[in-house]
């Protein structure tokens, strides 16, 4: 089992979603991004960090520094499940290969079907192959976040 699979299993076992794992060029830094339906707070990060530290000792995972954090308001979208979960929200994506001489798109996520993402851009539905998306992120909606706090 590689380190990413080990982390995925441990994080999901604690009730969190593993969003991403980043490593430094020599693998000395492990940066883990976690999420949950109710959001992430410092206590969640501490709990996951403590658990992973113990697990890495048992599994002899060699690293110098471990960072665990929330993915932030501009959360990356990596898996089909991410695009489904955040349907209706604004996102930006970059394609691996240009489509009509354009690689970057912004719009509202409208769903996923048969490996294709539907995104509404300026009122028009566009489809993109999930396999052709190089990276995608949510666009923070600060007004909506303020309404949720009230």
Q: Tens of pLDDT along 23-71?
A: 888 768 999 999 998 889 999 999 999 999 999 999 999 889 999 999 9
Q: What is the pLDDT of residue 148?
A: 47
Predicted confidence band at 85 (pLDDT cuts at 50, 70, 90)? very high
Mean pLDDT over all residues of the chain?
Answer: 91
Specify whether 60 is located in the same domain as 89.
no
Q: Give domain status of residue 113, yes or no.
A: yes
Contacts within 8 Å (CB) and 24+ apart, 114-121: 115/80, 117/83, 117/93, 119/91, 119/93
Specify whether 84 is located in the same domain as 65.
no
Q: Give domain status of residue 116, yes or no.
A: yes
Q: What is the pLDDT of residue 68?
A: 97
Q: What is the pLDDT of residue 46?
A: 97
Residue 145: pLDDT above 60? no
Domain coverage including residue 33: 3-69
99 Cβ partners below 8 Å, 6+ apart?
128
Domain boundary among 69, 90, 106: 69
CA R_g for the chain: 17
22 Cβ partners below 8 Å, 6+ apart?
29, 30, 31, 33
Q: Give domain status of residue 147, yes or no.
A: no
Q: Give domain status of residue 40, yes or no.
A: yes
pTM: 0.80
Give 63's strand partners.
none
Specify whether 38 is located in the same domain as 85.
no
């Amino acid at each position: 089992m590689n380190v990413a699979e080990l982390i995925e299993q441990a994080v999901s076992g604690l009730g969190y979603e593993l969003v991403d794992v980043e490593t430094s060029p020599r693998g000395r830094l492990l940066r883990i991004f976690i999420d949950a339906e109710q959001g992430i707070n410092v206590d969640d990060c501490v709990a996951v960090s403590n658990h992973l530290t113990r697990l890495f000792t048992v599994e002899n995972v060699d690293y110098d520094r471990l960072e665990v954090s929330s993915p932030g308001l501009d959360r990356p979208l990596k898996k089909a499940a991410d695009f489904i979960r955040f349907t209706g929200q604004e996102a930006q994506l970059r394609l691996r290969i240009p489509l009509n001489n354009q690689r970057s798109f912004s719009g509202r996520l409208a769903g996923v079907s048969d490996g294709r993402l539907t995104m509404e851009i300026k009122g028009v539905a566009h489809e993109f192959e999930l396999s052709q998306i190089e990276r995608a992120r949510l666009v923070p909606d600060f007004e909506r976040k303020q309404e949720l706090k009230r």
